[in-house]
Amino acid sequence: MSNKKKEPTKLFTMKIPVSKYEKYRNYSKKIDMPLSQIFQKLIERQELPKKVRQKSTPKVDPQLVRQVAAIGNNLNQIARRINQGDKFDVIPHLAAIEYQLEQLLNAHKVH
């Protein structure tokens, strides 16, 4: 009898097309090995990339970021006043924000 303790396991699920599943399952039966063992052996045998690919973030004009942040701040102030029960005409304020957004869009359109 072995004194070796079994390592705890974790269920891992993955999606594959039904046609591939059938192919893998048939192969599994043919060699009399569970699919999980087959996948583990395949994964452990392959070399993984050494460097993780970084997603590049687009370069944005800092002035544009400040302008959009200011518009967001205006919207937050309007929402705060509404939530506090302040009764004021919100339409002109929203129209001004819409105008600001249109101006920004036109100034930064890529042709």
Give CA–CA dist 78/88, Å, rounded.
10
Would the pTM count as exceeding 0.75? Answer: no
Residues in the chain: 111
DSSP single-letter state for residue 17:
-
Give CA–CA dist 7/37, Å, rounded.
15
Task: Provide the CA 102 distance to its chain's centre, in angstroms.
Answer: 28
Print pLDDT tens along the chain (111 aa): 556 788 898 888 889 999 999 999 998 899 998 988 888 888 888 776 677 667 777 778 888 888 899 999 999 999 998 889 888 888 888 899 999 998 888 888 766
Domain extents in the chain: 16-46, 62-107
Contact 108, 61 (CB under 8 A): yes
